[in-house]
C-alpha cells in the first residue's frame, strides 16, 4: 500500500492527532526510511537496510539553521507551534549528534517559541546509549513506544534488529521513573500468514500489568490512521480503544486516545 516520506529536515506545521499544531523535524535522510525497527504498520514504509553512514544524516548545523528559519517565519506571521516534534523517516535518536541537536532545539525554543513543547517519538531501542538517555530527559514530551508486553508480538509487529531485547528496553524505560509518555499502537490482522492482535484480552491484560509497573506520566492509545506497508492490517475500533483507555485510568494514570 502507499506510504510516504518526509523530504525536508523541518516540515509543517501539521495538525497532529496527539500533539496539536506540530512542527516536525526529520533527522533521517529524506529519500528513505532509516530505523532500528521495521514495523509492519509504519506509514513511512519498510526500513532501508543501511548501512547508516554518518553522511546520510542532516548535519547538526543544518537542523539548527532550518529550525531557526522556520520559527522566525512563523513568528513573523504571529504564529507558534504547540509542539516541536522529532519524528520523520524513522528513529530520530539514531542521529549521531542527537544530543547536540536537542540542546540547540531547547535554546531556539527558549528564544523564539517559549510556549512550544519539545517532543521526541522514539521506539525505545536506543536508551542503552548514555547520550540518548540524557538528551531525552531534556525534552518536554519523551514519547516512548511499547506495542506489547510480549516479546513474540513485538517481533511480529515491530520487527526490531537482532540485538533488541524487550526486557532490556523495559528496564531502561523504568530508569526514567515515570518521566516519559508511553505510546502504544493497537492493530490486528495477518502478516505473512500469522495472525497478530495486540488488542486481544490476553495481550491487553499483560500490557496493563506493564503500564502499572512503569507508571508513565501519560499513556497514548491509538490505532493506524494511514496506509500501511503490509496488507491485511485493520484499525482497532474506537469502542475497544476507549475500553483500554478506561482501564488505564483505573490505574490512576492520564491517557490520551486517538482514533
Residue ranges covered by each domain of the chain: 10-258
* The pLDDT value given to residue 56: 84
How many angstroms separate the CA atoms of 84 and 106, rounded? 10
Per residue in 209-237, pLDDT (tens digit) is: 999 999 999 999 999 988 899 999 999 99
Per residue in 123-175, pLDDT (tens digit) is: 999 999 999 999 999 999 999 999 999 999 999 999 999 899 999 999 999 99
Least confident of 7-11, 92-96, 178-182: 7-11
Q: How many CA atoms lie within 13 A of 150 on its CB side?
A: 14
For the four alpha carbons of 232, 238, 242 and 248, in that order, the dihedral sign comes to positive
* The pLDDT value given to residue 76: 92
* The pLDDT value given to residue 51: 67
Q: List the Cα angle 158/162/167 in 5-degree steps.
A: 70
How many angstroms separate the CA atoms of 211 and 219, rounded? 8
Per residue in 175-215, pLDDT (tens digit) is: 999 999 999 999 999 999 999 999 999 999 999 999 999 99
CATH class for the region spanning 10-258: alpha beta
How many angstroms separate the CA atoms of 205 and 42, rounded? 25
* The pLDDT value given to residue 3: 66
Amino acid at each position: 500500500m502507499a506510504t510516504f516520506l518526509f523530504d525536508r529536515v523541518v516540515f509543517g506545521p501539521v495538525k497532529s492527532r496527539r500533539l496539536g499544531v506540530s512542527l516536525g523535524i526529520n533527522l533521517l535522510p529524506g529519500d528513505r526510511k532509516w530505523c532500528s525497527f521495521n514495523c509492519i504498520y509504519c506509514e513511512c514504509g519498510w526500513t532501508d537496510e543501511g548501512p547508516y553512514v554518518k553522511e546520510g544524516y542532516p548535519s547538526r548545523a543544518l537542523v539548527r539553521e532550518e529550525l531557526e528559519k522556520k520559527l522566525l517565519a512563523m513568528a513573523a506571521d504571529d504564529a507558534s507551534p504547540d509542539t516541536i516534534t522529532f519524528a520523520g523517516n524513522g528513529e530520530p535518536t539514531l542521529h549521531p549528534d542527537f544530543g547536540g541537536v536537542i540542546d540547540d532545539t531547547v535554546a531556539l525554543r527558549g528564544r523564539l517559541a517559549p510556549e512550544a513543547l519539545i517532543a521526541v517519538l522514539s521506539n525505545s531501542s536506543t536508551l542503552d546509549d548514555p547520550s540518548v538517555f540524557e538528551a531525552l530527559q531534556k525534552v518536554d514530551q519523551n514519547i516512548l513506544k511499547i506495542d506489547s508486553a510480549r516479546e513474540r508480538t513485538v517481533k511480529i509487529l515491530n520487527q526490531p534488529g537482532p540485538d533488541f531485547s524487550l526486557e532490556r528496553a523495559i528496564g531502561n524505560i523504568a530508569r526514567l521513573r515515570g518521566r516519559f509518555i508511553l505510546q502504544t499502537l493497537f492493530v490486528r490482522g495477518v502478516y505473512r500468514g500469522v495472525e497478530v492482535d495486540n488488542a486481544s484480552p490476553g495481550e491487553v491484560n499483560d500490557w496493563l500489568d506493564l503500564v502499572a509497573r512503569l507508571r508513565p506520566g501519560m499513556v497514548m492509545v491509538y490505532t493506524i490512521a494511514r496506509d500501511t506497508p503490509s496488507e491485511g492490517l485493520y484499525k482497532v475500533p474506537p469502542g475497544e480503544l476507549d475500553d483500554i483507555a478506561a482501564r488505564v485510568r483505573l490505574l490512576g494514570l492520564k491517557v490520551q486516545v486517538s482514533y
